Amino acid sequence: MTIDSIKTVAVLGAGTMGNGIAHVFARAGYNVILRDVEDRFLQRGMDTIAKNLERELKKGKLTEAEKPTVLARLKPVTDMGAIAAADFAVEAVPEKLEIKRAVLTEADKLLRPEVILASNTSSISMTALAAMTKRPERFVGMHFMNPVPVMVLVEVIRALQTGDHAYSSTMELAKTLGKIPVAVNDAPGFVSNRVLMPLINEAAYAVMEGVATPEAVDAVMKLGMNHPMGPLELADFIGLDVCVDILKVLLEGLGDPKYRACPLLKKYVAAGWLGRKSNRGFYIYDK
Ligand SMILES: NC(=O)c1ccc[n+]([C@@H]2O[C@H](COP(=O)([O-])OP(=O)(O)OC[C@H]3O[C@@H](n4cnc5c(N)ncnc54)[C@H](O)[C@@H]3O)[C@@H](O)[C@H]2O)c1
């Protein structure tokens, strides 16, 4: 299947990442079948897309006339059977192996054999996910960053089984979305989380050991290293529970104790201080 023959894309999951992925495909001119398990999740996803398109309109990245055209390209569905019409599919369902397995095996049965199936997982082995399908050579990782409409990077991850054609097509497809794809091989945490999580973890240790306050740690990294966000601000944005889970994957997958999660991070998670989503993490947020 050539990249030019990709007209319709299925996005599985309309949550934080799924609605962003659907947004960027629709913006780039693709028809999008957006699938979630219940209408209320689809409604929430579509509302977010409409809100984010409005923001792009205000910033002059989109014209008034384009907005309804982009929205009309999106088809929200609960019926999984509808994805059979797709020429490419991206999975963005929750980061739980059993949910991924159920969704990927069902999608694998419904999609035409030549269609590439991609996963947006942050931490599960692409090689293991590819092996769950009957199209391992057409399975690939497409790791978008949050918020998807804003962030330019797509880490394109090659599972052990991914074929050259699926890999190069996915790299090209990401470019048609206005993204910059970066090629990475499958390994725990890929590059993004392999490098980011130890930074966040070390920042948490610095706070735990009383080296500096969260504000001071973040100020050093922003002002001294030119990071647009400090590591602890970023950790709150990602979710401290998500950070602890990813560190666990790195520790188990790579076996090096340097990846063990900082006790302070684990303590915050135990307290329900998960970051922005719970209004408290390293910082306190207004409701
Ligand atoms: N949130 C991030 O910053 C981020 C960044 C990069 C990658 N990811 C990855 O993206 C994936 C999705 O994460 P998220 O943050 O969007 O999660 P989320 O919980 O916001 O969204 C997941 C959505 O999938 C839906 N869903 C559940 N079962 C489904 C099924 N069988 N079919 C279709 N939809 C189903 C849920 O109802 C929900 O709307 C995960 O693999 C995660 O690791 C997340």
- DSSP conformational letter for 260: S
- 97 CA → ligand 1 middle, Å: 12
DSSP β-ladder status, 139-144 and 116-119: parallel
Q: What is the pLDDT of residues 73-115, one digit of tens each?
A: 999 999 999 999 999 999 999 998 999 999 999 999 999 999 9
Ligand 1, pocket-test mutation among 11, 12, 17, most atoms within 8 A of CB: 17
Separation between Cα atoms, residue 35 and residue 87, nearest integer Å: 15
The predicted pLDDT at position 99 comes to 97
The per-residue pLDDT for 287 is: 72
Cα–Cα distance measured from residue 207 to residue 77, given in angstroms and rounded to the nearest whole number:
46
Across the range 38-63, mean pLDDT stands at 96
> 66-76 pLDDT, tens per residue?
999 999 999 99
Per-residue pLDDT tens digits for 173-227: 999 999 999 999 999 999 999 999 999 999 999 999 999 999 999 999 999 999 9
Q: Whose CA is nearest to atom 12 of ligand 1?
A: 92
Q: Which atom in ligand 1 lies closest to the alpha carbon of residue 17?
A: 16
Question: Which pLDDT belongs to residue 149?
Answer: 97
**Does residue 228 have a pLDDT over 80?**
yes
3-state secondary structure 53-111: HHHHHHCCCCCCCHHHHHHHCEEEECCHHHHHHCCEEEECCCCCHHHHHHHHHHHHHHC
CA of 256 to the centre of ligand 1 (A): 28
Asked whether the predicted pLDDT for residue 1 surpasses 90, the reply is no
Q: Is the pLDDT confidence value at 286 over 90? A: no
CA angle 173, 150, 70 (to 5 degrees): 65
- Tell me which residues are annotated as active site: 122, 143, 155, 193
* Percent residues over pLDDT 70 in the chain: 100
Query: 14 C-alpha to center of ligand 1: Å?
Result: 7
What's the 93 CA to ligand 1 centre distance in angstroms?
Answer: 4
H or E element in which residue 158 lies: strand 153-158
According to DSSP, the β-strands at 116-119 and 74-77 are unpaired
Q: What is the pLDDT of residue 107?
A: 98
Show the ligand 1 pocket: residues with CB < 6 angstroms: 12-18, 35-37, 41, 92-95, 99, 103, 120-122, 146, 238
Helices (H), the chain: 16-27, 39-58, 66-72, 97-110, 126-131, 164-176, 192-208, 214-219, 225, 231-238, 240-254, 263-270
Task: Name the residue with the closest Cα to ligand 1, atom 2.
Answer: 146
